[in-house]
Every structure is written in C-alpha cells, then in structure tokens.
Amino acid sequence: DDLLKYYQHVTRAVLGDDPQLMKVALQDLQTNSKIAALLPYFVYIVSGVKSVSHDLEQLNRLLHMAKSLIQNPYLCLGSYVKSLIASVMYCVLEPLAASINPLNDHWTLRDYAALLLGQIFWTHGDLVSSLYHQILLTLQKVLADPVRPLCSHYGAVVGLHALGWEAVQRVLYPHLSTYWSNLQVVLDDYSVSNAQVKADGHKVYGAILVAV
C-alpha cells in the first residue's frame, strides 16, 4: 500500500505543474533503495513518450524520470533496460509532432536523450553490450535514409557522438562523403520556401562538426 502511494505521488509530481515537487520526486527516485518492485511500473510510464510526442515538456519530464531510474544504484534494471532504451531512442530519432513548430526546441530534447543513451551504455555496459550493434545499425539506417527529416538525421549524429568515438568511426565516417554532398544541396538553396529546411540543415551540419 505504501509502495502504491509512493508510485502515485512520484508520478503526479513528475508530470504535474510544480517544478520544485518534481525535482524532489526525481531526486528520491534516483536514491531510494526500496522501490525495486515499482520498476516495471515506472518503466511503463516512461514508455508513454510515444503518446505525448506533441508535448516537449512532458517528453522532457519522462526522460528525467528515465535518468533517475538509470542512476539509482539500488535498482537492477535487467530486461527493463531494453524498454528504457527504446523510449530514449524514440526521443533521439523520431520526427516528433512537437518538431513541426519551428519555435519548439526539440533539438535540446534530442541532445538530452542522446546523452542519456550514452549514459546507459557507460553505466550499464554489462546489461546492454549485446544491444550495441543493433543500436548502431538503427542509427546508421536513419542517417542513410534520405526520406527521413533532417531532425531525425540530427538525432542519429548526436546519438553516435554520445556513444563515443568508436561509434562515430564505424558509422558516421564511412557515410560522411555521401551525406555531406546531399546536405550541401540543402544549405546552398537560398529560396524562401527552403528557409526552415535550411535552418534544420545547419543544425545537422553543426552536430557533424562537433562529432568528428
């Protein structure tokens, strides 16, 4: 019963309107040694990223919840780590509904999600080493797909950068010459109708420069 109350309290605090309450709840979620039984329920809440892709604020909060779970030394993530990675990858790569409005800073969300992805691999390497190649392949496919929007390409680049130098060398470097020429076409188009796509292109360009 106490655990149920805790779960309800933390979920309300993280997804509610009080930033101070959210901060306290996330801090406790990160350090509480008695919540192992609630792990599947919190992981399920985090997997809700797909249903709030129009709401950057909620996406950010769910990622912060994921971070607290990942950093809690008393939690054994086990098979739940796959679900957490899927939620984080969604925020890194997907053309979120929130991305449609150029005023929405979905770039920062992607940066944060990418850092979280890197953190999962650095801190839970034993659990996720078997997923490493699969993740690289996913990032590679997105980057190599010209139909994908530039915000997804950006996510793939920052994701690779967060996973470290080996990931950049294995996936980004071999693809760079082809990708660069395609990106150049976008950056060289000065038409008014291309303005937003070009702005997105500059974001990808900057991310590549940082990664390599």
Band the pLDDT of 127: cuts 50, 70, 90. confident
Q: What amino acid occupies position 54?
A: H
Whether 58 contacts 38, CB under 8 Å: no
Please say if the pLDDT value at position 44 is more than 90: yes
Query: Against a cut of 0.85, is the pTM above it?
Result: yes
Q: For residue range 148-174, list pLDDT tens digits in order.
A: 999 999 999 999 999 999 999 999 999
Please say if the pLDDT value at position 86 is more than 90: yes
- Secondary structure of 40-94 in HEC code, one letter for each residue: HHHHHHHHHHHHHCCCHHHHHHHHHHHHHHHHCCCCCCCCHHHHHHHHHHHHHHC
Can you give the pLDDT at residue 58? 92
Whether 46 contacts 62, CB under 8 Å: yes
Can you give the pLDDT at residue 192? 83
Q: Could you tell me the residue ranges of all domains in the chain?
A: 1-211
Can you give the pLDDT at residue 150? 95
User: What are the start-end ranges of the E strands in the chain?
Assistant: none
**What CATH number should be reported for the domain whose range is 1-211?**
1.25.40.770
